[in-house]
Amino acid sequence: MVEAIGEHSNLTAEVSIGRERFLAMVVGSLNDVLSDTVGPREVEGFVNLVGMAVAEQILARYLAAAGTARLDLSATLDALLDWNRDLGGDIAISERSEKKVVLDDRRCPFLGFGLDSRAMCRMTSHVIGHMVAESQGYGRVTLADRASRGSRGCRIVIDLEPNACDGGGQSYYAKGDR
């Protein structure tokens, strides 16, 4: 039990927000304020730019750890799996070919934070898309199933060829290939 705060306060319950929940509140509020101010389409462009910046920072760490200037697809997928697990997800590769990779996440690391998880779904898609594109030159990410929409988990389909059947995903290109 926490002592009352201030002379006239009757607050005696401990309120635990914590760093992660606070950051989730910031991200959720930023998404809401931007959406209300500039509109959902502009927010998507903004989230894409933020996703690219975050992907570059994450990729730089994995490149430094690998001691290389570019990750191949296997190393990129390993980095994505490691990154997701580090966030608290439970992700695995369920399908892999030269044309497509399917990731299944049985535990979304962002559910339960009281924020609009769709914003974090978009951010995750952008980070994955940008990292795959930097590795392969191109990647299209489709969020086929989402825990934030009531599915048991998340299914992320990554097409590695631009001419693959479009499942409604977002295309990403390496910086030098735009």
Q: What is the pLDDT of residues 13-37, one digit of tens each?
A: 677 888 887 887 787 788 788 889 9
How is domain 31-177 classified at the CATH fold level? Answer: Muramoyl-pentapeptide Carboxypeptidase; domain 2 (3.30.1380)
Give per-residue pLDDT as tens, 78-89.
999 999 999 888
Rounded CA gap, 105 and 84, in Å?
Answer: 9
Query: Each residue of 140-178: pLDDT tens digit?
Result: 999 887 766 666 778 899 999 988 776 788 999 998 754
**Three-class SS of 129-153:** HHHHHHHHCEEEEEEEECHHHCCCC
* pLDDT value at 41 more than 70: yes
Hey, which residues does 121 pair with through a beta bridge?
none
9 vs 92, residue with greater confidence? 92
**Residue 10 pLDDT > 90, yes or no?**
no
Whole-model pTM? 0.80
Token duo for residue 38: 């500039």
In sequence order, the 6+-apart residues with CB closer than 8 A to the CB of 82 are 62
* Confidence check: pLDDT of 57 > 90: yes
Please give the backbone phi and psi of residue 3, each rounded to the nearest 5 degrees, phi first: -65, 155
Domain spans of the chain, in order of start: 31-177
More confident residue, 46 or 67: 67
Any idea what DSSP says for residue 176?
G
* pLDDT at position 120: 75
pLDDT of res. 178:
46
Phi/psi for 58 (5° steps) reads -65, -45
Measured distance between the N- and C-terminal CA atoms of the chain, rounded to whole angstroms? 57
Residue 1 has pLDDT above 60, yes or no: no
Question: Strand, coil or helix: what is 119?
Answer: helix
Helix then strand then coil, in percent of the chain rounded to 5, is 50, 15, 35
